Amino acid sequence: MKIKILGTGCTRCNSLEKTVREAVKELGYDVGVEHVTDFKKIMEYSLLMTPGLVIDEKVVSSGSVPKKDEIKKMIKTAMEAGK
C-alpha cells in the first residue's frame, strides 16, 4: 500500500501531510507516505485543487484537509480492500 500527498508547498498541503502521518502512526501500519510536489506528476491524477490525497493510486480527496478520523477510515478501507 502506498499513500501520496499531492501538494505544492501550500499550508494546507503540509497540514494534510502531518495529519496523514499521524493517522498512519496511530493505526500502527507500516505504510510509506510520499509528498509529491512536481506539477507534472500531480496533474497525472487530474485533480483541480490541491492538496490531494492518493491511496493506492486512487484520489480519495482533493482541495481539503479531511479530519484525522476520516483519513484513518479511508486508509483502513483501502487496507482491507487490498488484502
Catalytic residue (one of 3, 5, 6, 13) = 13
Of 31 and 60, CB closest to other proteins = 60
Q: Rounded to the nearest whole angstrom, what is the least distance from the CB of residue 28 to other proteins in the complex?
A: 26
Reply yes or no on whether 13 is catalytic.
yes
Write down the residue that cell numbers 499531492 correspond to: 6
Contact residues for other proteins, defined by CB under 8 A: 8-10, 12-13, 39-40, 42-44, 46-50, 58-63
Residues 6+ apart with CB under 8 A from 21: 33
Q: Nearest-CA neighbor of 19 among 62, 60, 57, 72? A: 72
Reading the block at residue 43, the C-alpha cell is 496533474
Catalytic residue numbers read 10, 13
